Amino acid sequence: GDSVTQMEGPVTLSEEAFLTINCTYTATGYPSLFWYVQYPGEGLQLLLKATKADDKGSNKGFEATYRKETTSFHLEKGSVQVSDSAVYFCALSEIHGQNFVFGPGTRLSVLP
Amino acid sequence: DTGVSQDPRHKITKRGQNVTFRCDPISEHNRLYWYRQTLGQGPEFLTYFQNEAQLEKSRLLSDRFSAERPKGSFSTLEIQRTEQGDSAMYLCASSLYGEDNEQFFGPGTRLTVL
């Protein structure tokens, strides 16, 4: 079945450091790919998405590019802030509007 | 607030008791999803509805679990004869079919079974 693998956390960075969180997936078709973020005490929020190969999703300084050849969707940010501390989930949706398959999440802590 | 809401936010129960959770989706959304999230893991799909029809159920949804969406608006998830292994966060999400799969999540109901 479909699956999503993320780099294990926790990831601890200093403010203004460069962030990469790796995500790879296994799917039988051509899924849409997503990054969700969960801030402490809050629900999951969509961070960015990409629906086809080579698409780049971006939001709030975060970016991720849909790489079909490597089945990856790595999340990057050039300069993290303390407010980016959260748990980040990579997810895929195989069929339009169907359920998501989530990765286990990566906890990010940014220190001032 | 026009987001997805869930009630209660926390539920503590004894093993063997029945519990019911409610989810109110974003009003114009026709799809509603239930997920379960355990500590340190990502959400796992349980079931989803399009309007009032339950279109898919995960193998995770044992016979003790039942979900309804009687009028195509709010949904309930009932767990009968709860077990300690049912302790988790239960998440609800909604989406508008035809809109590139974006699901909007509620804050979740945290269930603790003693």
pLDDT in tens, A57-105: 999 999 999 999 999 999 999 999 999 999 999 999 876 556 789 999 9
Confidence of residue A7 (pLDDT cuts 50, 70, 90): confident
Residues 6+ apart with CB under 8 A from A69: none
Positions of E strands within B14-98: 19-24, 31-37, 44-50, 53-57, 65-68, 75-79, 88-95
Angle CA A4–A100–B92, to nearest 5:
130
Mean pLDDT of B67-87: 95
Higher local confidence (pLDDT), B96 or A56: A56
For residue A104, the SS3 value is: coil
Chain A CA closest to residue B55 = A98
Phi and psi at B86, nearest 5°, equal: -80, -10
Q: What pLDDT score was predicted for residue A96?
A: 58
Residue A44 to residue B56, Cβ atoms within 8 A: no
Chain A residues inside the 8 Å CB shell of B98: 97
Phi and psi at A82, nearest 5°, equal: -55, -35
CA A110 – CA A88 distance, rounded (Å): 13
Nearest chain B Cα distance for residue A37, angstroms: 11
Cβ distance B17 to B82 under 8 Å? yes
Interface of A with B in 12-41 (CB under 8 A): 32, 34, 36
Q: Is the pLDDT of residue B99 over 80?
A: no
Residues 6+ apart with CB under 8 A from B24: B4, B5, B6, B7, B73, B74
Chain A residues inside the 8 Å CB shell of B107: 42-43
Chain A residues inside the 8 Å CB shell of B105: 36, 43-45
Q: Which two tokens mark B13? A: 């129960």
Phi and psi at A75, nearest 5°, equal: -95, 135
Q: Which helix (H) or strand (E) holds A37?
A: strand A32-38
Confidence of residue A2 (pLDDT cuts 50, 70, 90): confident
The answer to whether A9 faces chain B, any CB pair under 8 Å, is no
Percent of chain B with pLDDT over 70: 95
The answer to whether A98 faces chain B, any CB pair under 8 Å, is yes
Confidence of residue A29 (pLDDT cuts 50, 70, 90): confident
The answer to whether B25 faces chain A, any CB pair under 8 Å, is no
Residue B105 to residue A44, Cβ atoms within 8 A: yes
